[in-house]
Structure 1
Amino acid sequence: MTARPAIGAAARIVVKVGSSSLTSLDGGLDPVRLDALVDALAARRAGGAQVVLVSSGAIAAGLAPLGLAKRTRDLATQQAAASVGQLQLAHAYSASFARHGLTIGQILLTADDVIRRAHYRNAQRTLIRLLSLGVLPVVNENDTVATDEIRVGDNDRLAALVAHLVGAQALVLLSDVDGLYDGDPRQPGTVLVPDVDDVAALDLDVARPGVSGLGTGGMATKIEAASMAAGAGIPVLLAAAEDAASALDTSPAGPKVGTAFRAEGQRLSARRFWLRHAADVRGRLDLDEGAVHAVLRRRRSLLAAGVHGVAGEFVAGDVVDLVAPHGQVVARGVVAFDATELPNLIGRRTRDLPPEYRRELVHADDLVPLRGL
């Protein structure tokens, strides 16, 4: 099934909406825009689909009540605005969805909830249980406590993580742009790209921020999110928030708006997706060419003999990057030894090691390739 019919037929779908699509230029929530979005989501829900909403807007929603004219760079003020805005946003969503007899549940995630494996699994269980109870989860990063050093990042990326976390069959990214263009859409002659079969092959001048100044992401973050999701088997649609009803169309041909990204490859297990996109990397192992071939081509475990260098401070169970001789990170995995143990092990054949160390440095089940040969 191609991207558009798959998106239209998805039984579980994640929808992300940006700040600029929910707020007015003075920073307050726009009830007309919010109700229009909710109507579109409720219609998809009434059609039998399970829906998860990843919503920006907490900081923007808090600006007007605090008397702030625009988004500030001051972290403490941003967090204060988020504290006020999260309540306003949740109340607005709750009241709007109640018009359709739907109950929402708010999920505020921090970086730890996607970086640390145990937290990741807990967030996954909570979201799946909410869906099974008929609740529509509304997800946002917890901006009241997040700092630049511990942020998940833009909510486009968070939406891609959530889509895989809940096993969604489609991801829809709604913003103030109506799709991907082959250049700056403000310039004459640029055209909308309706379908993308290979995200990695894109070579477009698209890193342009939103026009409102209220959001944090640009087209580059949306393409990154689309790449994350599509590369893990989830088709993606990028469309304008004002076209939400059309973007969530369930006709056999699927939505006719925006840019659709075809799902590439097989869906990764939750563990491998976490390793590839969400894990907190603590160090690196430098591999020789033979080890790179074994890991990427033969999908074998990494042995001590194929490693010639170690960097970082990590312990057994941490995630490390596996680096080829030319310096490129080619894989990522869970290491079985502390960094302090490895200098005496690397470069040696397994049979030459003490009996207690005769095991893989990174087992194949705990390893995900990032690049092919």
Structure 2
Amino acid sequence: MTRAEVTADRSTVAGAARTVVKVGSSSLTQRGRIDPSRIDALVDALAARRAAGQQVVLVSSGAIAAGIAPLGLKARPRDLATQQAAAGVGQLLLIERYASSFARHGLTVGQVLLTADDLHRRGTYRNAVRTLERLLALGVIPIVNENDTVATHEIRFGDNDRLAALVAHLVLADALVLLSDIDGLYTSDPRKPGAVLIESVSDHAALAAVRLAGSSSSVGTGGMATKLDAAQIATGAGIPVLLTSATSVGAGLAGTGGTFFPPTGRRTASRLFWLRHATTPRGRLELDAGAVAAIVVRRKSLLPAGIVAVSGDFAAGDPVEIAGPDGAIVARGLVAFDSEDLPGLLGKSTGDLPEEFRREAVHRDDLIVL
């Protein structure tokens, strides 16, 4: 891709009517405390975006980091209970500082705390959509963070990158800007001589090559792996992504600098996107070759007759992964039976099943081929 093409594509970021911006803990805090100057610099750039008539959703990390010093801790806590306590203290301080900073521009903020489980469940997923849309309609800047006070395994570095990609699809954003302490994606560790900034990653194949080449360098620096995951999720759903540093947020919102990821796919229906990216399988169905062909090639529903094995503990309506005879995952779907009922139905045609079980194991409308 030529420099001219990169510049032209980047204009979609500058002109985006609705942009999701994600910022990490290291860009907001120093020595376990919120850095007001960093917050103000970020807010000034986002406020300028709003003044131009464009909507912004901010996905902000920093709750745990902001609670370290106020609790008298020496470093980020390792145990879950203290992490949650730090988040309880830090999230309050963080949102207060954001509210004060945005108020300088006459803007109101709204806090939206989510856990991965909120986006795994279809009902709360839809509730989150309604809440965010209403906040935006009222002229409010939504500030989204993972609810680390109650999260368990979800608390891990970089998770908010993936959350930002999910939120970008959730609010039908026109662009996603990921802010880091590094000004883009490099060919190798940017702290070492010879590293070159990658201006654009054009497609999924190029992204896969970058991930492989950087597995021991740039991908492992500053949570870059999670940012590449987020970029792949967003661009695959038709949303352009720009990765740059928090200190270059103004230039990033203008579409300059950093690394640009143009869309690689089209926007998908929210239900299918939710199935693919916002669900955690509760179990696994193993199919025979005929059933794989039926759901993958002919796009049919999955019947109990084609299932050869079941594992996991799930209830009707839960997401499950679907594998072929070789063990490769071919699809994901919402199963129509409890895990305790399904084994007795395997290999039987629909007519041979008791009347109350005469239905698809996974309906084609509840199934996404991977």
Q: Provide runs of 4+ in structure 1 moved above 6 Å.
A: 149-153
- CA-to-aligned-CA distance 1:49-72 (integer Å, 9 cap, x gap): 111000011111112222223212
Q: By how many angstroms is 1:355 displaced? A: 4.4
SS at match of 1:63: coil
Identify, as 1 or 2, the structure richer in helix.
2
The equivalent residue for 1:215 is none
- CA-to-aligned-CA distance 1:108-162 (integer Å, 9 cap, x gap): 1123211211111111111111111110000111112222268897111111111
Match of 1:10 among 11, 16, 31: 16
SS at match of 2:145: strand
Flag the 1:285–1:266 CA change in 2: closer, same or farther, 3 A.
same
Q: Identity of counterpart residues, as a percentage?
A: 64
Query: How many angstroms apart in 2 are the aligned matches of 1:53 and 1:149?
Result: 19
The equivalent residue for 1:175 is 180
Alpha-carbon RMSD:
1.9
Does structure 2 conserve the Cα–Cα contact (< 8 Å) formed by 1:175 and 1:240?
yes
Query: How many angstroms apart in 2 are the aligned matches of 1:129 and 1:56?
Result: 23
Q: By how many angstroms is 1:259 displaced? A: 0.8
Match of 1:155 among 148, 160, 174: 160
Greater CA drift, 153-162 or 201-210 = 201-210
Does structure 2 conserve the Cα–Cα contact (< 8 Å) formed by 1:160 and 1:228?
yes
Query: How many angstroms apart in 1 are the aligned matches of 2:362 and 2:9?
Result: 35
Flag the 1:153–1:242 CA change in 2: closer, same or farther, 3 A.
closer
**Matched letter for residue 46 of structure 1:** A
Does structure 1 conserve the Cα–Cα contact (< 8 Å) formed by 2:13 and 2:175?
yes
Query: How many angstroms apart in 2 are the aligned matches of 1:334 and 1:273?
Result: 13
Q: TM-score by structure 1 length?
A: 0.90
Greater CA drift, 3-12 or 120-129 = 3-12
Flag the 1:57–1:151 CA change in 2: closer, same or farther, 3 A.
closer
Query: How many angstroms apart in 2 are the aligned matches of 1:337 and 1:77?
Result: 39
**Matched letter for residue 319 of structure 1:** P
Query: How many angstroms apart in 1 are the aligned matches of 2:347 and 2:192?
Result: 56
Flag the 1:260–1:364 CA change in 2: closer, same or farther, 3 A.
same
Query: How many angstroms apart in 2 are the aligned matches of 1:167 and 1:225?
Result: 15
Q: By how many angstroms is 1:298 displaced? A: 2.7
Unaligned runs of 5+ in 2: none
Query: How many angstroms apart in 2 are the aligned matches of 1:69 and 1:354?
Result: 63
Query: How many angstroms apart in 2 are the aligned matches of 1:357 and 1:93?
Result: 53
**Matched letter for residue 228 of structure 2:** I
Unaligned runs of 5+ in 1: 211-217, 250-254
Greater CA drift, 59-68 or 165-174 = 59-68
Greater CA drift, 149-158 or 7-16 = 149-158
Q: By how many angstroms is 1:308 displaced? A: 1.3
Query: How many angstroms apart in 2 are the aligned matches of 1:153 and 1:173?
Result: 11
SS at match of 1:320: strand
The equivalent residue for 2:273 is 273
Of structures 1 and 2, the one with the larger relative CO (CA 8 A, separation 6+) is: 1
Q: By how many angstroms is 1:248 displaced? A: 0.7
SS at match of 1:171: strand
Q: By how many angstroms is 1:352 displaced? A: 4.1
Query: How many angstroms apart in 1 are the aligned matches of 2:43 and 2:358?
Result: 57
- CA-to-aligned-CA distance 1:283-323 (integer Å, 9 cap, x gap): 11111222222322332211223221111122211111011
Query: How many angstroms apart in 2 are the aligned matches of 1:345 and 1:289?
Result: 18
Match of 1:124 among 119, 123, 129: 129
Query: How many angstroms apart in 2 are the aligned matches of 1:292 and 1:3?
Result: 39
Query: How many angstroms apart in 2 are the aligned matches of 1:79 and 1:27?
Result: 15
Q: TM-score by structure 2 length?
A: 0.91
The equivalent residue for 1:96 is 101
Query: How many angstroms apart in 1 are the aligned matches of 2:306 and 2:249?
Result: 51
Matches within 5 A, 1:126-275: 126-148=131-153, 154-200=159-205, 201-202=208-209, 203-205=212-214, 206-210=218-222, 218-249=223-254, 255-275=255-275
